[in-house]
Amino acid sequence: MSKTNESRVVTDGQVVSLEYTLTVDGEVIDSSEGHGPIEFIQGMGNIIPGLEEELYGMKVGESKSVVVPPEDGYGEVDPDAFQDFPREAFPQSIPLEPGVTLRFQDEAGNSHLAVIDSVTDDTVRVDFNHPLAGKELHFEVKVVGLRDATDEELMHGHVHGSGTHD
């Protein structure tokens, strides 16, 4: 019933432990180094689709370079996601300079990150796109563990760690 580790490959319903390094524009922006591999259930859309797709069939110990175009990653830059605000709309404590990250709360009370795109004497243009929108994502990944997801994990659609959870 249970497969040997040698024959086990990444398929839907497998819990994948993955070491990864994410490079964007030649700069490493995220890595499992330091905080350990990520764990997710393959086929559940827990990770970006362009990466998940490339993992099928990989074995434990196998490494791969994956390039994910924007449309399979965080999407293209949406020109409608820029919005102008008067300078007075911002608290004094926020430096109004391009590149500064802001935290906004929408009407539903969810908080979103946005970045100041440009600033004039009167207005501040804020970019509400995902910071990685329009970017090509370069992943170096290594599968370091595979196991069957439990029925409960499959029902919840996410991996259960050793501790308590939602």
The footprint of Zn ion (CB under 5 A) covers 156
Q: Name the closest residue to Zn ion (Cβ).
A: 156
Least distance CB 149 / Zn ion (angstroms) = 11
CB 159, min distance to Zn ion, A:
8
- Report the SS3 class of residue 128: coil
Length of the chain: 166
Say how far apart CA 158 and CA 13 lie, in whole Å.
10
Give 33's contacts (C-beta < 8 A, 6+ positions apart). Answer: 19, 21
The Cα diameter of the chain in Å comes to 69
Smallest separation (angstroms) from Zn ion to the CB of 122: 49
Residue closer to Zn ion, measured from CB, 138 or 160: 160
Instruction: Please say which residue, 16 or 137, places its beta carbon nearer to Zn ion.
Output: 16
User: In terms of CB distance, is 138 or 156 closer to Zn ion?
Assistant: 156
Its sign, for the CA torsion 91, 96, 98, 99, is negative
Closest distance to Zn ion from the beta carbon of 44 (Å):
12
